[in-house]
Structure 1
Amino acid sequence: MTPHPSLPTTESAVAAMRVIAAEYRRPMTVTDDIGADRTSRRTSAPLFSVTDPDGSLPHEAFVELGGSPAISVRLFPEDDAEITLEGVVFHDVPRDHVPPFLTSVYSGLAFVKGRFFPPGYKLHVPLPGDETYEERVPGVSLTPWLSGRVR
């Protein structure tokens, strides 16, 4: 896994994701929302206002990657992202961690661990540098992709 440079903008993160999608031969669709009146976290923006009070133009993107596993990424203007992997939602992932997260998943490093008590499963996605994201898998049944990664 190669390290990814700092991603200062939503557009740079989308460009990095395009490279990964091409490398792993995954189709990718991007929906952009640009302007304070269009981004999801700017609900308090004044009517017809497209810039933030500091004059900046916020940019949010929603990315869907095709194939298995099912992955979608919402990139927020505040330098973080929400990644949904096979129905498991990872909140507040730093924008810089999105490319290594995807590379980890596509290279087969992600895994699921189950517990008898309390019952349930957790999806683990390890990143370079001893960082691992883990989230509880909702429900009691696993998708075929998740089932294939149980340890």
Structure 2
Amino acid sequence: MIGTMDRPLATTQAAVTACRAIAAAYAREIEVTDDIGADQTSRRSAAGVGVATDPDGSLPHEAFVEFGGMPRLTVRLYPEEDALITVEGVEFHDLPRDDVPAFLRAVLDDTAFVKGRRFPPGYRLVVPLPGDRTYKEPVPVIGLTSWLSSRVR
């Protein structure tokens, strides 16, 4: 494991650094877009024009990370210490920022899988993390891409 991924990710920049390390370890291209300032971040639309800091004087930092290759994988890191990770169109909302590296490794190491049910019919993308933590989200049947289909159990 890479050292930067084992420590808590105190800032958005630390999470971006961890994402870059994961991309390098898995030989994946990565593109990062940073939004810095209360007037730029998505959750602070009420900040007003030209207001860059929060009321407490801090400068919020949000980042969007897109990994190249398959599966299609994006990460939106929010200043509130949470993230939105999208895997092949399946969105995992409100993940703690500290879980992002383990989540990405689970997907890229092929430990994530799709579980199907007969009744009610449907699929779920299951991403197991160390420490018996698991994230599950429904997969729309029409959203079952070739990568997701190859992981059905």
Aligned Cα root-mean-square deviation (Å): 1.1
Number of aligned residue pairs: 151
Q: CA deviation at 1:141?
A: 4.8
Partner Cα separation in structure 2 for residue 46 and residue 53 of structure 1: 12
Q: Who is 1:86 aligned against?
A: 88
Q: Find the aligned partners of 2:16 and 2:143 in 1 and give their Cα distance.
A: 32
Instruction: Give 2:56's aligned residue.
Output: 54
* Structure 1 portions without partners, runs of 5+: none
Q: Which runs of 5+ in 2 are unaligned?
A: none
Task: Looking at secondary structure, tell me which structure has more helix per residue.
Answer: 2
Percent identity reads 64
> Which residue is equivalent to 1:36?
38
Residue 70 of structure 1 is matched in structure 2 by 72
> What is the Cα deviation at residue 106 of structure 1?
0.8
Q: CA deviation at 1:138?
A: 2.0
Task: Calculate the TM-score normalised by the size of structure 1.
Answer: 0.97
Q: Is the 8 A contact 2:89 2:143 kept in 1?
A: no
Amino acid aligned to 1:145: W
Say whether the 8 Å CA contact 1:120–1:140 is kept in structure 2: no
Aligned equivalents of 1:55, 1:139: Cα separation in 2:
46
Question: Which residue number corresponds to residue 118 of structure 1?
Answer: 120
Q: Which residue of 1 aligns with 2:14?
A: 12
The separation in 2 between residues aligned to 1:46 and 1:142, in whole angstroms, is 41
